[in-house]
Amino acid sequence: MLLVLTVSNGLHFLVAWEVFAVCGYFLITLDGNKRAVRTAGWLYLATSHAGTLCLCVFFGLLAVKTGGWELGPLRGDASLAPLFWLALAGFGIKAGIFPLHIWLPSAHANAPSHVSALMSGVAIKMGVYGIVRFSGWLPVPAAAGWVVMALGATSALLGIAFALAQNDFKRLLAYCSVENIGIIMIGIGGALLARSHGDAAWGRLALAGALLHVWNHGAFKALLFFGAGSVLHATGTREMSRLGGLWQRMPWTAGLFALGAVAVVGLPPLNGFVSEWLIYLGLFDAVAGKQASAWVAMPAAILLGLAGALALATFAKAGAMIFLGAARTKSAALAHECGNWMRGPMLALAGICLGLGLVPTLVWPALTSAAGAWQPVQSGGLSDCGNGEADGQRAGYPHHSGPGIVPAAVIGLTIGETHAAKPSAGGAPAMAEVPLATLGWVQLGLAGLMAAAGTLLWRKVMANNLRRGPTWDCGYAAPAARMQYTSGSFAGLASAWFSWILRPLRTMRRVHGHFPAEAIYQERVPETVLDMVILPLAARGMQVSAAVRRLQHGHLSFYILYVVVALAALASLVLLENVP
């Protein structure tokens, strides 16, 4: 995988990419004796190769147009722009943007949990990396920003809607990855839009947010998958409706999962909030700029808010179903805490989440240099130097610039003139300041206050005498674990709003008659895009192929007949050509 990041030759890139994709297949199918795992691995392999096909065509055409496999900044050549769509499709499959995400839920759910953590945390980011790398180097079509942002907003909203409706907690986490990739894509789309409007200040913000979110998502999603893995290890089931009350047996896992949940929902004082905040700032600036790009930034901001609120519902559900309340089955009641080797990595990742949240200025120099490398400041003649990173440094992105401020000096100097020419972008250079340091202090203060208030209240309660009793179920004498809300009933209200796309499959048998049989209610949310679009299409393709396949029946005499007919046809073609 590292190879993909370091090569600068198109052919080598393709080979490295393929090796990386195939390794992914073997990692997913580590438990290859289960049917579901093999199916998931096969689906992954097929979609991954569809993506690689796009990339083959992309690099091939690139090589034909530029006359070599060497990769490098090629901004000047506008004829390369349409190639961006190929790259978007190829890398988009890997990243799991919404309509292309079909492999992602089953692969993440069926892979061993540490592999899921690796795939969700790092592997799908390679798709994001590809999009960022090639959109930085190549000219992009004018519509690219709009499309990427729209795709991102769709992914964010629908990904989290699917996540909310899941009952399998690893599938839930996988769909949540689709949401987070959507958030990242919103940021990248903002950057592309800003570039096509020659108005880089808010684009840089959005890009910085997106890149930071790549890191953050890697940290908290890996943490959540490790938590999920330890629950799976302890109970042997992935169904949330069979769990509950696990905090008593697994307090460490429960606490760390809760921390990861706060981070993934994007709540202060953890890291998820910092990156979402940066993306929001970019979008708000875009809207306040009142240019054409505001038309797409405005719905994106609102959809991002919607996705955030749905994420809150999703992770409240996941945490509550797995860890809170009473155990719903015996296996949940007999769970055991994970060992030190499983807890260590979770603690480390939780530390990263906390650290990035409380001291966000730590990563700011890295972010600005990356954003600078992606889009060198247009002071002329820089885009032809070989390596993107050198661009950023040569463009004078001051690594020592006061943390918490977008290198405002640079933007003010070089982009400022373009702004001055456009009165509609009113005061954008001043807007480019990001008080990241202030946000860091706010987060720190918030965390400190929370710790203090929590301790104070705990002490007060202890001093006042704490008694234990059964849950007060409004006077009902014998509350039972089965009376709790289940994962399906928790999601019911909000996911009903998305039933047009979720298409839940229901099996229901009501109680009726004098001696009623068992009543049944089952609900399952399928992978709609796969089951209702791709598979029917594939079945149609198989029908056609099966019809064509009848030509291959193994009778030698007929094959000779094919050859004779083909020869005759060719001969007649040649003869007819020569007649006039």
Partner 1 sequence: MKLLLDLILRIDCWLLLAPLLPGIINKVKAWVAGRRGPPVLQLYYDLARLWKKGVVMSTLASPAFVILPALTWVALLSAAMLMPLGPLGAGLTFRGDALVLLYLLALGRFCTVWAAMETGSAFEGMGTVREVSYAVLAEAALIAAVLSLSVQSGSIALATMLGPPLGAGAVLLAAGLFIILLAENCRVPFDDPNTHLELAMIHEAMVLDHSGPPLAAILHGASMKLLLFAVLLVQAVLPIGQLQPLAAAAVLAAGVLGVTVAVGLVESLWARFAFRRVPLLLTTAFLLCLFALLVAWKGGPA
Measured between alpha carbons, how far is 109 from 487 in angstroms, rounded to an integer? 17
Distance, CA of 64 to chain centre: 33
Query: Which is closer to partner 1, CB of 450 or CB of 563?
Result: 450
Among the listed residues 182, 395, 184, 206, the one whose alpha carbon sits nearest the alpha carbon of residue 289 = 206
Measured between alpha carbons, how far is 554 from 552 in angstroms, rounded to an integer? 6
Measured between alpha carbons, how far is 312 from 306 in angstroms, rounded to an integer? 10
Number of alpha carbons in the 13 Å side-chain half-sphere of residue 248: 11
Query: Which is closer to partner 1, CB of 125 or CB of 242?
Result: 242
Measured between alpha carbons, how far is 316 from 212 in angstroms, rounded to an integer? 24
Alpha helices by DSSP H, 111-199: 113-118, 124-137, 144-165, 169-196
Query: Which is closer to partner 1, CB of 136 or CB of 227?
Result: 227
Distance, CA of 544 to chain centre: 35
Q: Compute the least distance from the CB of residue 348 to partner 1, in Å.
A: 23
Q: Compute the least distance from the CB of residue 488 to partner 1, in Å.
A: 11
AA identity, residue 108: H
Query: Which is closer to partner 1, CB of 351 or CB of 435?
Result: 435
Query: Which is closer to partner 1, CB of 68 or CB of 454?
Result: 454
Give the DSSP letter of residue 297.
H
Query: Which is closer to partner 1, CB of 472 or CB of 515?
Result: 472
Query: Which is closer to partner 1, CB of 91 or CB of 220?
Result: 220
Q: Compute the least distance from the CB of residue 439 to partner 1, in Å.
A: 7
Q: Compute the least distance from the CB of residue 365 to partner 1, in Å.
A: 20
3-state secondary structure of 512: coil
Q: Compute the least distance from the CB of residue 30 to partner 1, in Å.
A: 34
Contact 114, 229 (CB under 8 A): yes
Q: Compute the least distance from the CB of residue 467 to partner 1, in Å.
A: 5
Contact 253, 346 (CB under 8 A): yes
Measured between alpha carbons, how far is 94 from 91 in angstroms, rounded to an integer? 5
What does R_g of the chain's alpha carbons equal in angstroms? Answer: 27
Distance, CA of 352 to chain centre: 19
Q: Compute the least distance from the CB of residue 205 to partner 1, in Å.
A: 10
AA identity, residue 450: M
φ and ψ at residue 520, rounded to 5 degrees: -130, 135
Give the DSSP letter of residue 329.
S
Query: Which is closer to partner 1, CB of 87 or CB of 163?
Result: 163
**Residues forming a β-bridge with 70:** 9
Measured between alpha carbons, how far is 365 from 373 in angstroms, rounded to an integer? 12
Q: Which two tokens stand for residue 151?
A: 């795709």
Q: Compute the least distance from the CB of residue 244 to partner 1, in Å.
A: 7
Contact 131, 95 (CB under 8 A): yes
Instruction: Give buried/exposed letters for 560-577 (b at 16+ CB in 10 A, else e).
Output: eeeeeeeeeeeeeeeeee
Measured between alpha carbons, how far is 391 from 376 in angstroms, rounded to an integer? 6
Q: Compute the least distance from the CB of residue 264 to partner 1, in Å.
A: 11
Reply yes or no: is the peptide bond before residue 479 cis, omega within 30 of 0: no
The residue to which tokens 């009793």 are assigned: 469
Query: Which is closer to partner 1, CB of 290 or CB of 336?
Result: 290
Q: Compute the least distance from the CB of residue 535 to partner 1, in Å.
A: 31
Q: Compute the least distance from the CB of residue 71 to partner 1, in Å.
A: 37
Q: Compute the least distance from the CB of residue 307 to partner 1, in Å.
A: 9
Among the listed residues 444, 263, 283, 434, the one whose alpha carbon sits nearest the alpha carbon of residue 364 = 434
In this structure, how many other beta carbons lie within 10 angstroms of the beta carbon of residue 95?
28
Query: Which is closer to partner 1, CB of 39 or CB of 329?
Result: 329
Query: Which is closer to partner 1, CB of 208 or CB of 304?
Result: 304
Contact 80, 138 (CB under 8 A): yes
The residue to which tokens 């006359």 are assigned: 67
Q: Compute the least distance from the CB of residue 247 to partner 1, in Å.
A: 5
Query: Which is closer to partner 1, CB of 132 or CB of 262?
Result: 262
In this structure, how many other beta carbons lie within 10 angstroms of the beta carbon of residue 397?
20
Query: Which is closer to partner 1, CB of 108 or CB of 328?
Result: 328
